A = this chain, B = another copy of it.
């Protein structure tokens, strides 16, 4: 298998060198044609999707992630049109200067080359990733979950046929075999794949980071805190905590731990009161528990155990930690944060400033909900993932983050003394 895949990766690399010369106009034309072709091929895609669904246990929550229908396909087509409408991230001059010896130096954005995505059972990712990668001039290597195998094959067939119709090398996108073995080849394809983004569970991300030789951008996991300061506004805090915890508890920017200054413990019951409506389960430390006992529903209130801190709940659960100072809050967050999104609720400008400066995370917030960590919310137009590491890209990744740069130097015979 390794040999067959490596041979294919060579053709993908070749294709990546060809698409570098496509104009943005050609790319947009292709993307719009792809969007238009989706309704024409509803049947083929949905039949393939049905084959995947039939292999699942109907009670598996994954079924919903895997399922395609015409309205989902229409939403996907709309997303592809949206990508076509965005400005090209390529050929932007990041720096330009003429050196004293007359050399003309420019730093210009270029495609990364070949981008590998390894993901689980969401066939919409297949379309999304292709659109973002092509728009940014990159070839795409996909390793989807075996649960979505038939769906992914049908989708990539459709993309291949549209590429061919437009005279673009179809090797621009390559779907790896669904077998696990293919993932190992991909993770070791130094020289063929320039970057790998895992999209899925923490387990998948850990596996990729621990086994890849190709550079990896870790995305996803958010262990998110909101600190209610001594100077925090109660009404504002109530709204923010409610929004950050309950808007979409299953996403990575959802609140996991409320950190509260001990001088505001008397306000805690009021602060978390709205969470009862959504039956949010609280794991409160001793000081917080004592303050909540009288008012928060007993069935929803538990004493916090160590495992409730530093946990991404992805559900209607939240831990509560009491601290005696802003410094202690910073320490708690530094210790448990996954460096995704962290917030402070405070009126005191000094407390806000210190928090925003000291907290090491992709996105730090003052007096607002962490639910805003999202490429579209940031005005980036799209999103391929939220990076929780520090190299290359941090926070929401969109088209710009799918480019690198090169230095272009033009001279008239200069040599270095």
Which residue numbers of A lie inside 8 Å of B, CB to CB?
17, 20-21, 97, 99, 103, 105, 110, 112-113, 190, 194-195, 209-210, 213, 215-217, 233, 235-236, 239-240, 242-244, 247, 334, 352, 356-358, 360-369, 371-372, 377-379, 389-392, 394-395, 404-416
Contact = CB atoms under 8 A, between A and B. Distances in A.
Contact of A334 (B17, B243, B369, B408): B17
B112 A367 contact: no
Nearest to A417: B247
Contact of A17 (B242, B360, B364, B413): B360
A377 B411 contact: no
16 contacts: A103-B368, A112-B390, A194-B391, A195-B390, A195-B391, A215-B215, A233-B413, A247-B416, A362-B407, A364-B408, A365-B409, A367-B410, A367-B412, A368-B413, A394-B405, A394-B407
Contacts of A334: 17
Nearest to A410: B366
Nearest to A16: B360
Given A358-B17, A390-B195, A415-B239, A407 B364 contact: yes
Q: Is the interface of A mostly helix, strand, loop or mixed?
A: mixed
Copies of this chain, count: 2
Nearest to A373: B407
A411 B368 contact: yes
Nearest to A211: B213
Contacts of A112: 390-391
A415 to B, nearest CB: 4
Given A99-B379, A391-B195, A368 B410 contact: yes
A372 B113 contact: no
B243 A416 contact: yes
Contacts of A215: 215-216, 389-391
Contact of A395 (B17, B209, B407): B407
Contacts of A233: 413
- Among A239, A362, A366, A409, chain B packs the most CB atoms within 10 A around the CB of A409
A362 B406 contact: yes
Contact of A105 (B20, B210, B367, B378): B378
